[in-house]
């Protein structure tokens, strides 16, 4: 057990109780899974952004009978009060805010040392350890679930090479995950992070969004709603046309970097903003990232190019360029919605983590029969989560009559 400060427990429990009230789907599932008993005595290792909604998922799994060990998946998204609250509530926690690379790795290893039956990974760091020096910690492992786009890309690369040692479910690809979490969740929470960190207006500014995937679409939608002039950069011509049809300007980063006021990268790729871009940015430009890794804005090049750096405010570092202009980087280029805010809204994570809980259940039941591959989430899980969400919102939808069913199958 390694956390920063047990005295923060009550603050963490307050945060967890707050989001619990807005996560009714998880409450329903907790009851069902507890009665069913499938999680009884099972060991689960989780590496995921350690904030209140994640804590709620960990508690659900514990209340359903599992032994749960948790750690973060990014040193700047871990909240120390949540860690303390979880320890108070009986979970095994190894994580703290701003862990050094060696501390971060030690926390992952400590988490895996329970020799899990199943894992939840976010970005792929647990999977990497379980395929390297710590293979022995996978001796009981049936398989696991991966939360995000980048983690799935890493898993698929491993799968393509035929060197994945256990089955993994691509939770991100479930409709009830990426259509809501990546789009509406990242859309709202990225601006939550930017606005609370900078205290500046978005309206009237040129907001450059690199990547028009599920997250980029959500960020662009919210930027427009806040009154920004939205500029999109892309490498995929189809996505670029989609952005054009939404009424956004599409251009290269070489052009956008001259006119942007706020830059948000969300591509899952590296070196999206590099030295030739920094060099021509306006004075006061704001740079942040919402993609999984901090490799989208090349901070090594920015540091090299700068004459000086200065902390401007909490979570903002200003880099003075040879041109005399200063560009400001938020949260060290780590996911701005988690490192500089509290992540996605609770109602969104109610769905994402319902998918996680049901996917883990699926892995416990079906994993022993599955091949060592990446699997999509069964459609029934998506349908169950969507139906539960609708019913908690008090919304009914129409059902096909027998005649209608026959009609649509008759072509």
Which parts of this chain interact with ligand NAI (CB under 6 A)?
A: 148-150, 178, 182, 186, 210-216, 233-236, 239, 266-269, 272, 290-292, 335, 337-338
CB atoms within 10 A of CB 370: 16
Minimum distance between the CB of residue 291 and ligand NAI, rounded to whole angstroms?
Answer: 4
| Nearest distance, CB of residue 233 and ligand NAI, angstroms | 5
d(CA 368, CA 267): 34
* Residue of closest CB approach to ligand NAI: 213
Task: Considering the complex, state which of residue 6 and residue 239 has its C-beta at the smaller distance from ligand NAI.
Answer: 239
Between 15 and 217, CB nearer to ligand NAI = 217
Which residue number, 148 or 198, has a Cβ lying nearer to ligand NAI? Answer: 148
Nearer Cβ to ligand NAI (114/195): 195
Three-state SS string across 236-264, please?
Answer: CHHHHHHHHHCCCEECCHHHHHHHCCEEE
List Cα–Cα distances, 118 to 46, 173, 269, 362, in angstroms: 9, 19, 28, 11
Nearest-approach distance from CB 124 to ligand NAI, in angstroms: 10
Nearer to ligand NAI, 128 or 269 (CB): 269
Report the nearest approach of ligand NAI to the CB of residue 207 (Å).
15
Minimum distance from CB of 269 to ligand NAI (Å)? 3
Shortest distance, position 356 Cβ to ligand NAI, whole Å: 13
> 316 near 292, Cβ under 8 Å?
no
Q: How far is the CB of 270 from ligand NAI (least distance, A)?
A: 8
Chain position carrying tokens 């350890």: 129
Burial (CB count within 10 angstroms: exposed 0-12, middle 13-18, buried 19+), residue 246:
middle
Name the packing angle between helices 24-36 and 379-392 (round to 10°).
120
Distance CA 111, CA 67 (A): 11
Q: What is the largest CA-CA distance in the chain?
A: 73
Token pair belonging to 1: 């057990």
CA distances from 50 to 113, 185, 228, 357 (A): 19, 16, 31, 16
Nearer to ligand NAI, 149 or 257 (CB): 149
* R_g of the chain computed on alpha carbons: 22
Q: How far is the CB of 390 from ligand NAI (least distance, A)?
A: 23
Pairing mode, strands 92-93 and 308-313: unpaired
Backbone phi, psi, residue 146, to 5°: -110, 130
* CB closer to ligand NAI out of 94 and 182: 182
Question: What is the number of alpha carbons within 13 Å of residue 313 lying toward its C-beta?
Answer: 13
Nearest distance from C-beta of residue 170 to ligand NAI, angstroms: 12
> Residue 265 in contact with residue 302, Cβ under 8 Å?
no
Neighbours of 103 (CB within 10 A): 15
| CB-nearer residue toward ligand NAI: 30 or 347 | 347
The sign of the CA dihedral 363, 361, 152, 385 is: positive
| 108/266 with CB nearer ligand NAI | 266
Q: How far is the CB of 237 from ligand NAI (least distance, A)?
A: 9
Q: How far apart are CA 224 and CA 207, in angstroms?
A: 9
Of residues 159 and 234, the one with the C-beta less far from ligand NAI = 234
């Amino acid at each position: 057990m390694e956390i920063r400060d047990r005295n923060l427990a009550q603050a963490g429990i307050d945060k967890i109780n707050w989001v619990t009230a807005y996560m009714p789907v998880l409450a329903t599932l907790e009851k069902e899974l507890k009665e069913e008993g499938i999680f009884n005595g099972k060991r689960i290792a989780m590496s995921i952004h350690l904030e209140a909604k994640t804590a709620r998922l960990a508690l659900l799994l514990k209340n359903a009978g599992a032994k749960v060990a948790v750690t973060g998946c990014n040193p700047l998204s871990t909240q120390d009060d949540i860690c303390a609250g979880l320890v108070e509530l009986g979970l095994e926690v190894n994580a703290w805010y701003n862990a050094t690379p060696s501390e971060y790795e030690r926390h992952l290893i400590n988490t895996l040392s329970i020799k899990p039956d199943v894992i939840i990974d976010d970005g792929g760091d647990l999977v990497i350890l379980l395929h390297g020096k710590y293979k022995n910690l996978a001796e009981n492992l049936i398989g696991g679930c991966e939360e995000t786009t980048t983690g799935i890309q890493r898993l698929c690369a491993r799968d393509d090479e035929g060197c994945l040692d256990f089955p993994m479910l691509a939770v991100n690809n479930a409709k009830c995950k990426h259509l809501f979490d990546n789009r509406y969740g990242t859309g709202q929470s990225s601006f939550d992070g930017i606005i609370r960190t900078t205290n500046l207006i978005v309206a009237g500014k040129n907001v450059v969004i690199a990547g028009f995937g599920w997250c980029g679409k959500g960020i662009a939608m919210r930027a427009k709603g806040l009154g920004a002039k939205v500029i999109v950069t892309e490498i995929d011509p189809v996505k670029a046309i989609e952005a054009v049809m939404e009424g956004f300007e599409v251009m290269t980063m070489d052009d956008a970097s001259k006119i942007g006021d706020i830059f948000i990268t969300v591509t899952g790729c590296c070196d999206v903003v590099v030295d030739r871009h920094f060099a021509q940015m306006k004075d006061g430009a704001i740079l942040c990232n919402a993609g999984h890794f901090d490799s989208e804005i090349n901070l090594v090049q920015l540091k090299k190019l700068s004459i000086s750096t200065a902390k401007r405010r909490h979570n903002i570092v200003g880099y003075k360029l040879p041109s005399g202009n200063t560009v400001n980087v938020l949260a060290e280029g780590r996911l701005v919605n988690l490192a500089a805010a509290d992540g996605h809204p609770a109602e969104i994570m109610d769905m994402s983590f319902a998918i996680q809980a049901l996917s883990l259940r699926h892995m416990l039941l079906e994993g022993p029969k599955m091949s060592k591959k990446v699997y999509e989430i069964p459609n029934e899980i998506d349908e169950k989560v969507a139906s539960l969400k609708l019913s908690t919102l008090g919304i009914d939808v129409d059902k096909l009559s027998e005649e209608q069913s026959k009609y649509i199958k008759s072509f």
